[in-house]
């Protein structure tokens, strides 16, 4: 039923977009010629914030999903979304099925992070939790912005260079955690933070359980029992909770962790509004650093 409704709203949206677009298409072609400011749309705010850093004063980035109150996996675009996309010069999206709804709208130019980093369908889609992917996005943005406003290429290059330097603090912290940790086994409520965890050498024991939670289906009895036992036997160093989604089963797991004094690391899938990618990510890493320091 949910899928059917989603499809129907998609079709309606498409019809509306066509109407909007037929009105502004001719206008748009002349617009690009006298472009002075770049309008960028990002499906999600973590990429949007990075895109604004590289763009600097030469335009504005608008993010469609810009707070953890929306579950990106269940997002359906509105007419307002379609208008923003239609008016933009560049659309940044994640890809690999995460936010592909944006491809049904009519943007003039698309930049897919998945394509950029070579991610394929079926890969873990939370690509932004790998700082190296964001570094590659930074470079790709310089190329795209410079095509639109070639006179400001050096500005874009300079902004990107500065941003990449700041980004390295994440790699440094992840490396620190990697070498400090004494226990590598952990569990997660959802696979949102997995790229970061794997880069730090953690071994996730409940992939099956977390995938079911992410997909909104019930994990099997065996998967639940396995995780409960791992918690009761203190086999995991901590439990990573994606605060952004709700599940009774996960709530109970968190309760059990608290009973057993297993630390909870709280992450979100989407960046809180007005935060920055680096600070958001860094604060999540700090929770883990604190835990591994206590056991080092």
219 close to 208: Cβ distance less than 8 angstroms = yes
Write the CB contacts of 270 (distance below 8 Å, at least 6 apart in sequence): 44, 45, 46, 65, 66, 67, 68, 70, 72, 244
266 close to 158: Cβ distance less than 8 angstroms = no
CB of residue 269 to Zn ion, shortest distance in Å: 5
Pick the closer one to Zn ion by CB: 155 or 269: 269
Pick the closer one to Zn ion by CB: 206 or 269: 269
Take residue 281 and report the two structure tokens written for it: 């990510």
Cα angle, residue 196 at apex, residues 56 and 213 outer, rounded to 5°: 110
Pick the closer one to Zn ion by CB: 192 or 227: 192
CB of residue 70 to Zn ion, shortest distance in Å: 12
CB of residue 216 to Zn ion, shortest distance in Å: 11
User: Could you give the CA distance from residue 192 to residue 244 in angstroms, rounded to a whole number?
Assistant: 10
CB of residue 128 to Zn ion, shortest distance in Å: 11
For helices 45-55 and 153-180, what crossing angle results, to 10°?
A: 130
Pick the closer one to Zn ion by CB: 65 or 192: 192
User: Could you give the CA distance from residue 217 to residue 141 in angstroms, rounded to a whole number?
Assistant: 37
CB of residue 217 to Zn ion, shortest distance in Å: 14
Interaction pattern, residues 188-227, with Zn ion; x per rule: CB under 5 A: ----x-----------------------------------
- The three-state secondary structure class of 240 is strand
- Is 54 an interacting residue with respect to Zn ion (CB under 5 A)? no
Pick the closer one to Zn ion by CB: 113 or 141: 113
> Which among 148-156, 194-202, 224-232, 264-272 is the span making contact with Zn ion, rule CB under 5 A?
264-272
* Positions in 269-288 near Zn ion (CB under 5 A): 269
Q: Which residue has the tokens 């791992």?
A: 230
Compute CA 233 distance to the chain's CA centroid, rounded to the nearest angstrom.
33
Instruction: Please name the helix (run of DSSP H) or strand (run of DSSP E) that holds residue 44, with its range, or none.
Output: strand 38-44
Q: How many residues are recorded in the chain?
A: 296
CB of residue 166 to Zn ion, shortest distance in Å: 25
Pick the closer one to Zn ion by CB: 90 or 192: 192
CB of residue 73 to Zn ion, shortest distance in Å: 5
> Which among 75-83, 84-92, 223-231, 268-276 is the span making contact with Zn ion, rule CB under 5 A?
268-276
Pick the closer one to Zn ion by CB: 75 or 145: 75
CA atoms within a 13 Å half-sphere pointing along the CA-CB vector of 78: 3
Which has the closest alpha carbon to 127: 42, 195, 202, 51?
195
CB of residue 99 to Zn ion, shortest distance in Å: 11
Question: Count residues contacting Zn ion (CB under 5 A)?
Answer: 2
Pick the closer one to Zn ion by CB: 22 or 217: 217
What are the residues binding Zn ion (CB under 5 A)?
A: 192, 269
């Amino acid at each position: 039923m949910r899928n059917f409704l989603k499809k129907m709203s998609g079709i309606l949206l498409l019809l509306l977009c066509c109407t909007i677009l037929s009105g502004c298409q001719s206008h748009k072609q002349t617009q690009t010629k006298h472009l002075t400011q770049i309008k960028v749309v990002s499906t999600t705010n973590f990429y949007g914030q990075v895109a604004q850093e590289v763009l600097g004063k030469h335009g504005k980035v608008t993010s469609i999903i810009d707070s953890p109150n929306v579950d990106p996996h269940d997002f359906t675009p509105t007419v307002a979304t379609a208008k923003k996309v239609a008016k933009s010069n560049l659309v940044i999206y994640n890809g690999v099925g995460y936010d592909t709804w944006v491809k049904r709208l009519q943007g003039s130019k698309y930049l897919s992070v998945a394509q950029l980093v070579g991610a394929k369908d079926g890969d873990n889609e939370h690509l932004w939790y790998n700082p190296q992917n964001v570094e590659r996005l930074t470079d790709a943005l310089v190329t795209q912005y410079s095509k639109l406003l070639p006179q400001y290429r050096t500005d874009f290059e300079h902004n990107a260079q500065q941003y990449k330097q700041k980004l390295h603090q994440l790699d440094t912290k992840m490396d620190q955690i990697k070498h400090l940790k004494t226990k590598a086994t952990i569990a997660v409520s959802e696979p949102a933070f997995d790229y970061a965890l794997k880069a730090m050498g953690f071994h996730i024991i409940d992939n099956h359980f977390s995938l079911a939670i992410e997909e909104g289906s019930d994990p099997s009895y065996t998967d639940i029992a396995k995780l409960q036992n791992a918690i009761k036997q203190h086999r995991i160093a901590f439990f990573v909770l994606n605060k952004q989604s709700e599940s009774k089963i996960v709530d109970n797991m968190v309760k059990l962790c608290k009973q057993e004094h297993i630390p909870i690391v709280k992450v979100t899938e989407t960046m809180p509004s007005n935060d920055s990618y680096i600070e958001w990510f860094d604060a999540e890493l700090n929770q883990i650093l604190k835990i591994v320091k206590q056991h080092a």
